[in-house]
């Protein structure tokens, strides 16, 4: 192959590099982007009434008549259980919105599931605290 006179240098293999940059890398990017879009379509958006859950907890603590140290421990357990339950739910592919921020009726409310999750985690941490 004779090179045009205006080219002083020619590197063998530049066609391969050009092909790689022009076709192979974009194909990998297309596959990656399609996979990410597919994952987003699989994700479910749910809502939780955190205000109601916190109100229920505060009311229960106010009626319990427990001493301040026990109340602090109960608050810490409840907040830890709440955080853990929301983290577990979100790890399972759900996007969690607070019900105060949701304007649509199409979003599934998982407040009862979160409430049972919190009570389960709270009981587990209470059993660990007593041991």
Instruction: Using alpha carbons, list the distances in angstroms from residue 106 to 43, 89, 91.
Output: 15, 19, 22
Indicate the range of 2-11, 18-27, 78-87, 102-111 predicted with least confidence. Answer: 2-11
**122 has a pLDDT exceeding 70:** yes
Q: How buried is residue 81: exposed, middle or buried, by Cβ count under 10 Å (0-12/13-18/19+)?
A: buried
If one compares 122 and 76, the residue with the highest pLDDT of the two is 76
**61 has a pLDDT exceeding 70:** yes
pTM recorded for the entire structure: 0.60
Is the CB of residue 57 less than 8 Å from the CB of residue 19?
Answer: no
Average confidence (pLDDT) over 99-120: 84
**Domain 43-130 class, CATH top level:** alpha beta
Task: Name the residue among 90, 72, 85 with its Cα closest to residue 116.
Answer: 85
The domain segmentation of the chain, as residue ranges, is 43-130
Is the CB of residue 114 less than 8 Å from the CB of residue 121?
Answer: no
């Amino acid at each position: 192959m004779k090179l045009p006179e205006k080219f002083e240098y020619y590197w063998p293999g530049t066609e391969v590099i050009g092909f790689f940059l022009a076709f192979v890398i974009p194909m990998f990017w297309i596959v990656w982007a399609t996979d990410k879009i597919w994952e987003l379509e699989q994700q479910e958006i749910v809502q939780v009434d955190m205000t109601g859950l916190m109100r229920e907890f505060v009311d229960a603590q106010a009626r319990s008549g427990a001493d301040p140290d026990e109340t602090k421990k109960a608050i810490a357990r409840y907040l830890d259980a709440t955080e853990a339950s929301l983290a577990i739910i979100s790890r399972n592919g759900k996007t969690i919105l607070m019900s105060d921020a949701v304007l649509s009726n199409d979003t599934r409310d998982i407040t009862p599931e979160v409430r049972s999750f919190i009570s389960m985690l709270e009981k587990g941490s209470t059993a660990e605290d007593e041991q």
